[in-house]
Structure 1
């Protein structure tokens, strides 16, 4: 598609869906795009480490339970095991080999999901089939801050469907 065609399509979309275009502009202007709350001093009432941020569901309102100086998201091990891009690359290659899945197009999304998987493995070990654990908010947002979605669109915690 050439530039003129793209411009014409965008103008048509803007005429038909003007509120959507305004919403996209507003999201772009906000830090982190969509639902990407910034830290507040002391964190939410359910947080003890002071690094958590408000979460959209009750199941996601989980804190690491540490003191502010010992928050899990600030430990050197977390920085390496969960956030380091080289470690995440190795974990993704291993997962692709074992599950025979291909690579996607969105590197930040892949790294975010690999970080979530690394945290669960590092903290709880290999979960059984259908077993899901909520990751503490402080750790979720450390991962999302490192590998953000450009529109701030995150799926969040999905509880097990095998209950």
Structure 2
């Protein structure tokens, strides 16, 4: 079944559920994907019809930003926007929350990195999740890159990751072109 058909099928199923079934279903989703539900609740907080709050710390009218979610970056090479309009910014897509920010997905990625690639676990939980989230984003958007090949992650997505897994002192490494470039 293609994505649109699956989406319509799911909508139809939800429409035909009783209030109790919807509540039980939602509690099961919370049980399996709490980060996704909390992020969605935060984004869809009750607002007057047609009113959308300004993006937190984003939307600084940066000349290089088209999505309105970017924040200034420390170096010119990092001043990259996704190039999308405000409604289609990747940092707002539900897949971003699942594939890039979900703690279980990140834990699995870190486990693979430790096991298959023999990289040690980082003791700093937020730093480990943040760096794995950067890897997840790159894999999701660009696929597997060759050794030494790196891509700049858009500011809007970088900051969404940093907001979810912050450094307590606000000290971030930033983009590195790599040793082989």
**Aligned mates of 1:74, 1:94 — CA distance in 2:** 27
Provide structure 1 residue ranges, at least 5 long, that are not aligned to the other structure: 1-37
- Deviation, 1:102, is 2.1
Decide which of 144, 147, 152 is 2:162's aligned counterpart. Answer: 144
**Aligned mates of 1:54, 1:67 — CA distance in 2:** 18
Q: 1:103 to 1:77 in 2, by over 3 A?
A: same
Higher relative contact order (CA 8 A, sep 6+): 1
Decide which of 126, 133, 148 is 1:108's aligned counterpart. Answer: 126
| Residue in 2 that maps onto 1:87 | 105
3-state SS in 1 of match to 2:87: helix
Residues 39-61 of structure 1 show CA distances to partners (whole Å, capped at 9, x for unaligned) of: 24354110000000000111100
**Aligned mates of 1:110, 1:151 — CA distance in 2:** 15
TM-score by length of 1: 0.74
Q: 1:101 to 1:41 in 2, by over 3 A?
A: closer
**Aligned mates of 2:116, 2:155 — CA distance in 1:** 29
Which ranges of 4 or more aligned residues in structure 1 deviate by more than 4 Å? none
1:63 matched to 2:110? The reply is: no
| Residue in 1 that maps onto 2:149 | 131
**Aligned mates of 1:41, 1:75 — CA distance in 2:** 17
1:44 matched to 2:62? The reply is: yes
1:122 matched to 2:140? The reply is: yes
**Aligned mates of 1:89, 1:43 — CA distance in 2:** 35
- Give the number of aligned pairs: 126
Calculate the aligned-residue CA RMSD, in Å. 1.2
The answer on whether the counterparts of 2:114 and 2:120 sit within 8 Å (CA) in structure 1 is yes
